[in-house]
Amino acid sequence: MRVLHVAHCCLPHVGGLETVVAAETRGLAARGWDVTLLSSAGTVGAGTREEDGIRTVRVRAWNGLESRFGVPFPFFSPWLVVALWREVRRADIVHVHDLIYLSSWVAALWCVLLRTPYVVHRHVGFVHHPSAVVTLVQRTVVGTVGRLVVRNAATVLAIDEHVADDVRASSPGARVIVLGNGVDTAAFHPLAPDERRRAREALDLPADRPLVLFVGRFVPKKGFAEVAAAASDDYDLVFVGGDRPAGLQDPRLHFLGAVPASEMPRVYSCADIMVVASVGECPLTVLESMSSGLPLVANDDPALHSPWTAGPGVLFVDIAGGRLRAALEGLVSDPAEARRLGAAARVCTERGFSWEAHLDRLVESYSEAVLGA
């Protein structure tokens, strides 16, 4: 069967959605599917080529809003319309990743016109942003064209029940399936002490300081400012996702930039504690850090109360209320308890989550969508 995945960005652009797209497309190809991925050109350049065993169609796009405002919304060239027409025509099923992007709208339109069944994958719910303009635009898009994308989809794949409830409330009658992310437990795993020490040296991180890790774009919905403000003499903070912001010179804060997905297992293995301060989402970093054997300090936000965080190894904290520093200092002061929590988190991911189980459910949803078309 031929499946087309449509995503506004894909690897090497760093992000949780991009990692999921890679896991799904490569996993389906390994199972014998004819897989095509259409996305923005990014730094790779426009054209059609094989990337990591996947036929990939890249279309030129301007992504200046991300660098200026932290909003990853590529403006595609008009060629997107032609490229998607060609690819939708040859597909048996189309997998549209989220609904607020130009690529998603055009893909859904061609699917309707060409009568090709498609599923919409909701990776995140409403994205909180301090800009009133961004918030208004997002609400308008979700309530208009986004609603049409959902209405015509054979199935909506929601990352968790929180997102699923939002879809059901805004689009009554939509067929919604909860499809949680998976994690590669072979890639993300704890390292032996000597390997861990060498990994820290390679990344120029302190060898003898407790390290608290933050992974994500430095935007409000990720809680970057709250985490940076939680600096303490008891530990150092390590940030992955961007360069050091101007004026933030605290030596207890280390910035590794935008780390390629292939190198992230080593980064997790260097840390002692993971902090996820997101609002309105439960990012893939949750599972990756737990699989790496890290205790997780998570923001006490409804979206972060998911099946992934329902097991052991997770501490919920009111991060917006300024309680993050105290929670981190408490864990650092009891390294035996931190190790116990990390080990429990690792066992939880090994037993309950995998990409293979994710792919089984995904293939089932495709079959149901095609049969129902």
Amino acid at 304: L
Give the pLDDT score at 186: 93
Rg (CA), the chain: 20
Strands (E), the chain: 2-6, 34-40, 47-51, 54-59, 61-62, 75-76, 93-97, 118-122, 155-158, 176-178, 211-215, 236-240, 253-255, 273-276, 296-299, 314-317
Query: How far apart are alpha carbons 305 and 300 in whole angstroms?
Result: 8
Give pLDDT tens digits for 296-347.
999 999 989 988 899 899 999 999 888 999 999 999 999 999 999 999 999 9
The confidence score (pLDDT) of residue 289 equals 97
**Domains along the chain?**
2-182+354-372 (3.40.50.2000), 193-352 (3.40.50.2000)
Predicted local distance difference test score (pLDDT) of residue 138: 62
Q: What pLDDT, on a 0 to 100 scale, did the predictor assign at position 55? A: 98
Distance CA 93, CA 158 (A): 18
Q: What is the pLDDT of residues 203-219, one digit of tens each?
A: 999 999 999 999 998 98
Residue 372: the pLDDT is 75
256 CB-side CA count, 13 A = 26
Intra-chain end-to-end CA distance of the chain, in Å: 15
Q: Which segments of the chain have a pLDDT < 50?
A: none
Q: pTM of the predicted model, to two decimals?
A: 0.81
**Angle 105-129-216 from CA coordinates, rounded to 5°:** 90
